Amino acid sequence: LKTMASPNMKAIQIKNAGGPEVLKYEEIPRPEITEPDDVLIKNHFMGVNFIDIYHRSGDYKIPLPAVLGREGAGVVDSVGNNVKDIVPGNQVVYFGSPSYAEYTKASSKYVFKLPEGIDTKTAAASLLQGLTAYTFVTQAYSVKKGDWILIQAAAGGVGGLLTQLVKSFGAHVIGTVSSPEKAELAKKSGAEHVINSTSQDIVKEVMQITNNEGVHAVYDGVGKATLETSLTCIRRLGSLISYGNASGMIPPFNIYKLSEKNIKLARPSLGNYIYTKEEFQQYTKELFDLIINGKLNIKIWKIYKLNEVRQAHEDLAQRKTTGKLLLEP
């Protein structure tokens, strides 16, 4: 009797948490369809996100060994028995399944068939950060025309998309960045004012711009280094949307601080806005419509080869990048 061993594929696996050196380019078995809702995808492009760094470093714990990555796009290889709306050969994008590999097995719940006008590169470059920005400006805080909004790291992946969306809602964006090149980019995305966080006093500048009132809301993905500054920049009855920790995890927070200005604090995660299949499909459709209609511009920093992933992680962690980092097999 002959048994067929499943074919191998190249992937980035980690066996233990740590620095970029734990990222290993290895041959591992290609995933196979086991559940009726599975979709097996041959990846064209895979998105790199800051959460991959938290998974690698151990700031966010995941079961190990693990293939990193949370999003990618490519062509469907095969599907489980329940999957009817997606067939082999379709171009798709997916969320949530390990993507730093040649092939990814995803649940059909989080697989989206690409519409005319969105290629696999744009899809992989826009899904996770785009859904984050889109749900955070509509759900976490509902941005209104005329609002003053402070966006920390406005030239980053999520920051650049937040800037474009907030501006398109008719609100005023004040963006922070760490270099003149990033300042140019934030302005191009629609920031009315840009503050260089390495040479300027963010609170002083924000107060000057807003007539000493402060902003209606702050989007802060930088975390530990900026939390206090962000709180100080908010006006009475304003909102803080603290959504990340690029500079480090935020230590325990004293909620009594919020009563000084009756500030609303949100700490959203994308996963809870796209929890159901319907939510994921609907928001993804709306996001791609914005891109197709030219209302949201997706900026790709660089496409790295899968075996150059360490460089990608280092560049992102060392604040060298703007926009989206992609991997390709």
Give the residue with the Cβ less far from ligand NDP, 8 or 269: 269
Place of tokens 């050969």: 89
Helix (H, G, I), strand (E, B) or coil at 266: strand
Q: Minimum distance from CB of 307 to ligand NDP (Å)?
A: 21
> x/- site string to ligand NDP, residues 8 to 47, per CB under 6 A?
----------------------------------------
Count the Cβ atoms, other than its own, within 10 Å of residue 169: 16
Specify the stretch interacting with ligand NDP by CB under 6 A; choose among 20-28, 32-40, 266-274, 304-312. 266-274
| Residues 280, 104 contacting (CB under 8 angstroms) | no
| Helix H or strand E encompassing 51 | helix 50-57
Joined together, the tokens standing for residue 49 give 């996100």
The set of residues, in sequence order, having a beta carbon less than 8 Å from that of 21 and lying 6+ positions away, is 310
Q: Which of residues 300-329 bind ligand NDP (CB under 6 A)?
A: 316-317, 319, 321
Q: Which of residues 147-186 bind ligand NDP (CB under 6 A)?
A: 153, 155-159, 177-178, 182
Give the residue with the Cβ less far from ligand NDP, 88 or 248: 248
Specify the stretch interacting with ligand NDP by CB under 6 A; choose among 111-119, 166-174, 229-237, 268-276. 268-276
Dist CA 168 CA 295 (whole Å)? 8
Dist CA 232 CA 247 (whole Å)? 18
Does residue number 270 form part of the binding site for ligand NDP (CB under 6 A)? yes
Q: Minimum distance from CB of 207 to ligand NDP (Å)?
A: 20
Radius of gyration, alpha carbons of the chain: 20
Q: Which of residues 56-115 bind ligand NDP (CB under 6 A)?
A: none
Specify the stretch interacting with ligand NDP by CB under 6 A; choose among 26-34, 82-90, 113-121, 221-229. 221-229
Dist CA 293 CA 327 (whole Å)? 26
Does residue number 200 form part of the binding site for ligand NDP (CB under 6 A)? no
* Count of positions on this chain that bind ligand NDP (CB under 6 A): 30
| Residues 124, 46 contacting (CB under 8 angstroms) | yes
Alpha-carbon dihedral 269, 270, 272, 277, rounded to 10 degrees: -170
Q: Minimum distance from CB of 126 to ligand NDP (Å)?
A: 12
Judged by the rule CB under 6 A, the positions of this chain that interact with ligand NDP are 49-51, 129, 132, 153, 155-159, 177-178, 182, 197, 221-222, 225, 243-247, 268-270, 316-317, 319, 321
